[in-house]
């Protein structure tokens, strides 16, 4: 855990828990393929009925061929656009209201997940797979191993379109397109590759992390707590509350009993979403009872920041560049000893 806890990719985790905004096409696509008049198409392709063209688009599963078919012309784009929207929704799925848990790598074949995380059929499948993998952790790593993140990473890689002929290149009937037309095509393809489904909100909207299973919430400590740096987000708060492991070996420096107890996170396997404070107030106004447990996460995060600041000094440069900083108290408290809460915790340990 200490190897990745303060890295910036946790923004992806927060993004998965937010409400999604409607998917929109890039501006260059709107300008070239949705605005203005549609030219009359005389190609043999357009002798096919619209229903068959839509069926063709549905069968184009690779993003390269789907994108190239989409930019053929305005008429084709109008048919393919719903399939592009579906493609982006599948590429950027939501974890909103899904069960989330952070499983420790020291889980062996005797460890059980929290009640309700797996269905009966899933639990039986895990038991059957243990003979092959030896532990729950190995099963989950080999089965799920960040497929969503890897797919997005591959999707954002530099675009290479072997099937797109350059001007003057050989083709079945030659290829005489203007250089400008080729550049326009590449511009549109690149825009489609960079497009994504964005969230309806962001951190600047003052968000809260809601546990919809327990009706509890945590506020963004990076904004409201002067002892927590801005680079610590709701994703970090979620992680310290959903750990599930038989041991407390986090590769983190700590003396606080609450951190030791983090191995059996009270929120592990629950369902979550990130909403704005205004949205939370609306839910409370409707009679829903929600409990603020921000301090529960705050005790742990403040302690981890204090005890591990120097271990992540290598990661501070991009944080400083983004306007983040570690609290001024850090240099004195980490050198001179512990806060009052730490002293009490040391006595417990």
Residue 348 predicted with pLDDT over 50 = no
Residue 161 predicted with pLDDT over 70 = no
Of the pLDDT bands very low, low, confident and very high (cuts 50, 70, 90), residue 336 is very low
Q: Is 211 helix (H, G, I), strand (E, B) or coil?
A: strand
Express each pLDDT in 306-325 by its tens digit. Answer: 888 765 554 555 555 555 55
- How far is it, in rounded angstroms, from Cα 93 to Cα 247? 32
- Residue 322: its pLDDT value, please? 56
Of the pLDDT bands very low, low, confident and very high (cuts 50, 70, 90), residue 153 is very low
Beta strands 272-276; 102-103: pairing state: unpaired
Q: Is 249 helix (H, G, I), strand (E, B) or coil?
A: coil
Beta strands 243-244; 102-103: pairing state: parallel
41-45, 117-121, 176-180: which has the minimum mean pLDDT?
176-180
- Residue 89: its pLDDT value, please? 84
- Counting residues of the chain whose pLDDT is more than 90, the rounded percentage is 24
- Residue 8: its pLDDT value, please? 63
Total residue length of the chain: 349
Please give the average per-residue pLDDT across 181-199, as a whole number.
82
- Residue 172: its pLDDT value, please? 46
Mean pLDDT of the chain: 77
- Residue 329: its pLDDT value, please? 37
If one compares 146 and 192, the residue with the highest pLDDT of the two is 192
- Residue 248: its pLDDT value, please? 81
Express each pLDDT in 71-91 by its tens digit. Answer: 989 999 999 999 999 888 888
143-147, 164-168, 305-309: which has the minimum mean pLDDT?
164-168
Taking the mean position of all CA atoms in its chain, how far away is CA 246?
Answer: 26
Residue 295 predicted with pLDDT over 70 = yes
Q: Return the residue matching tokens 């096409």.
A: 25
> What is the pTM assigned to this prediction?
0.73
- How far is it, in rounded angstroms, from Cα 260 to Cα 186? 53
Cα torsion through 216, 221, 223, 226, rounded to 10: 140
């Amino acid at each position: 855990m200490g190897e990745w806890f303060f890295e910036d990719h946790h923004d992806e985790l927060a993004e998965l828990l937010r409400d999604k905004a409607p998917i929109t096409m890039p501006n260059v696509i709107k300008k070239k393929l949705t605005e203005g008049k549609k030219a009359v198409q005389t190609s043999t392709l357009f002798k096919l009925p619209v229903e068959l063209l839509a069926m063709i688009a549905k069968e184009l599963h690779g993003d390269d061929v789907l994108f190239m078919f989409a930019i053929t012309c305005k008429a084709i784009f109008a048919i393919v656009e719903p399939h592009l929207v579906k493609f982006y929704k599948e590429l950027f799925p939501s974890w909103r209201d899904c069960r989330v848990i952070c499983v420790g790598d020291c889980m062996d074949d005797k460890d059980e997940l929290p009640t309700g995380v797996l269905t009966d059929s899933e639990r039986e499948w895990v038991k059957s797979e243990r003979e092959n993998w030896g532990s729950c952790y190995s099963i989950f790593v080999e089965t799920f191993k960040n497929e969503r993140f890897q797919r997005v990473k591959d999707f954002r890689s530099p675009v290479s379109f072997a099937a797109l002929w350059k001007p003057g290149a050989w083709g079945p009937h030659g290829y005489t397109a203007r250089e400008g037309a080729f550049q326009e095509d590449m511009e549109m393809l690149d825009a489609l590759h960079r497009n994504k489904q964005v969230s309806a909100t962001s951190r600047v909207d003052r968000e809260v992390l809601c546990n919809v299973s327990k009706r509890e919430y945590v506020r963004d400590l990076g904004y409201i707590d002067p002892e927590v740096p801005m680079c610590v987000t709701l994703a970090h708060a979620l992680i310290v509350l959903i750990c599930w492991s038989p041991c407390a070996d986090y590769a983190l420096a700590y003396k606080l009993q609450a951190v030791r107890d983090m191995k059996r996170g009270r929120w592990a396997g629950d369902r979550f979403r990130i909403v704005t404070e205004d949205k939370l107030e609306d839910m409370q106004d409707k009679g829903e009872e929600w409990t603020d447990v921000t301090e529960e996460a705050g005790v742990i995060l403040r302690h981890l920041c204090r005890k591990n600041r120097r271990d992540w000094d290598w990661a501070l440069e991009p944080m400083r560049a983004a306007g983040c900083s570690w609290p001024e108290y850090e240099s004195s408290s980490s050198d001179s000893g512990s806060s009052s809460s730490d002293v009490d915790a040391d006595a417990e340990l």
